[in-house]
Structures are given as C-alpha cells and as structure tokens.
Amino acid sequence: MSSADQAAKLVKQLEREDWKILHALERNLPAKEDVQPAKMTKTTDLFAEEIEFRLGRLERDGLVMRNPNGYSLVTAGLDAIALNAFANRDLISALGKPIGVGKESDVYEAITEAGVSYAIKFYRIGRASFRAIRRKRSYLAGESPRRWFLMSIEAAKTEYNALRKLVEYSVSVPKVIARERHALLMPRIDGDILVNVAEMNDPRGVLLKILANVRAAYLKAGVINGDLSEYNVIFDGTDVWLIDWPQAVDRSHPNADTLLDRDVLNILRFFKRRFGVESSLEDVSFYVRGWRETPSLL
C-alpha cells in the first residue's frame, strides 16, 4: 500500500490525541534532532505514558518512525496531516486512485462530498535517496528525511504561488484550490500528457495554443516554467494545460532567458519530431517575449 493510501485509511480512525502527537512531530521538522516522547508532554498536553503508547501505535500504523534518539514523521504521517487538513476545510472527503507518478511527486484522485473529482499532488522530494537509506538502514550525513519533507513543503508552496499568479492572468494551468503542507489540491484535468498523444488533428494549432500560454505566463504573470516539455502539458483533444511549476522562476531571474528558450525548444522539438511541425526558435522566442505578434510556423 502506498503512503497516501495508508494515510487515507487512517485519517478517519485517528483520535484527537494522535493528531496532537503528529503535529508535535511536524513542528519538529526543522530541528536537527528527533523528538523524545518525554519532551512532548508540554506541546501535546498529554502524559508521558499516553504519548509512549500512542507513538507505539502510530509506529505500527506506519505514520511515524522510531529512531535511536526519538521519533520522527514518515511520509505517510505527513500525508495524513495534509489529508486531514483538506478534509477539515471540507475540501475533500476521500482519496481515490493514483493518477500519475512523477519522479518527485505522487498524484492522486480526490473526491468531494458532492462527488466531484479533484487531483492531489503530494511532493516526494528525495524519494530516491529515501529508498537508499531504507536499504542501508542508516542516515547519510546531512540528508535527513526531515529536510526532504521541508523541501517538499517548499516545492508545494512555490508551485501553489506560481499557479495562483498564472490563474490570475488567465494562463491555462490547473486552477489550484488549496495547499496543505507538501500537497496541492487542484481540479482534475481529463486529458493526456502530450508524450502519450499519438495523433492530433491540428498539431500546429495545439502548438500555437501552448506558445500563447508560455507567452502570457512570461509577459503577463512574469513567470517561466523552467521544466516545460511534452511531459508537462496536458491535452484533452481541444485545450492544453501547462502543469508542474515547482521550479518556476520569475522573469527577473538571472537565468530567465536560458530557461525560457529551453522550455520553448523542448516543445518545438517535440512537435517537429512527432508531428513534423517546422518552426524557428528565433521567431518563436521573439514571439514569447512579446517582440513580435505572431510566431511563424510552417
């Protein structure tokens, strides 16, 4: 069972006292050391015996981990905290099936009380290294899972802020609804990433739509994706959405020009390779910068 499934299964069973303990471990994420149960009495307002008992149960449930110097959250524990927060805000009522597994994220379907289907993206920064650690059963110097959780939370914040700004300027991106910890809640887009699209009626028209959105993101919102490719554009047969913005940079960033050109080039190359659409990077990069009004595509 994945950590998100594990978390979803337990969210409804956990008691108020369990959440106090999970939140105490969450508050400890920035610290260098794990928390010892005896040190949690103040922050949880629980007796040491109860804390020990509940930590043991949370460990068996796979939400926390016991280390030589105390306890810490594991991925399912952080997932549970995020899911519970979304549920407490009445945003979701259940977790559905996996939609997409990226290198550094898991995307799941989530369902509202009214039966509307959303997508939740859980950040998994450091996942590959986590596995190595579990195999070796030891910590690599400086690479604590807590640090990756904090980095995952930061990535979610960056993507949330970028998406909010892009939505404001009507760029075609998922209209993000909320962020909790390392997780983003957004509408589920019913389509395929470009790399999985074998045929298109009007590839040139689709390419123009993508470029118009890259241009609007840059000129109006002042944001560059920085990781745009056929893997990060969803196509539903008519419309396109640019997804995956945790590495988004501001147009004032020192590498802005290089990143913008790379984004554009990835897309142009894909459309040439798969659909034979010819274009000139120079023309298109002038277009996305607002130096000309139309990109010349053949």
Ligand X SMILES: Nc1ncnc2c1ncn2[C@@H]1O[C@H](COP(=O)(O)OP(=O)(O)OP(=O)(O)O)[C@@H](O)[C@H]1O
x-or-dash pattern for ligand X, window 230-269, by CB under 6 A?
Answer: -xx----------xx-------------------------
Q: Which residues contact 285 (CB under 8 A, 6 or more apart)?
A: 260, 261, 264
| DSSP-derived 3-state class of residue 152 | helix
Q: Which does 79 bind (CB under 5 to 8 A by kind): Mg ion, ligand X, none?
A: none
Q: What angle do CA 41, 44, 50 make, to 5 degrees?
A: 65
Determine if 32 is a binding residue for ligand X (CB under 6 A): no
Q: What are phi and psi of 100, to 5 degrees?
A: -155, 140
Determine if 76 is a binding residue for ligand X (CB under 6 A): no
Q: Which does 96 bind (CB under 5 to 8 A by kind): Mg ion, ligand X, none?
A: none
The single-letter DSSP state of residue 219 is I
Closer of 270 and 287 to Mg ion (Cβ): 270
What's the one-letter identity of residue 229?
Answer: S
Q: CA-CA distances (angstroms) from residue 46 to 13, 14, 37?
A: 19, 16, 10
H-helix or E-strand spanning residue 130: helix 127-136
Q: Which of 190, 192, 202, 227 is catalytic?
A: 227
Catalytic status, residue 106? no
Residue whose tokens read 């939740």: 120
Closer of 26 and 244 to ligand X (Cβ): 244
Candidate residues 100, 112, 204, 274; the one interacting with ligand X per rule CB under 6 A: 100
Residue nearest to ligand X (CB): 102
The residues that are catalytic are 227
Residues that bind ligand X (CB under 6 A): 99-100, 102-105, 107, 119, 121, 174, 186, 188-189, 193, 231-232, 243-244
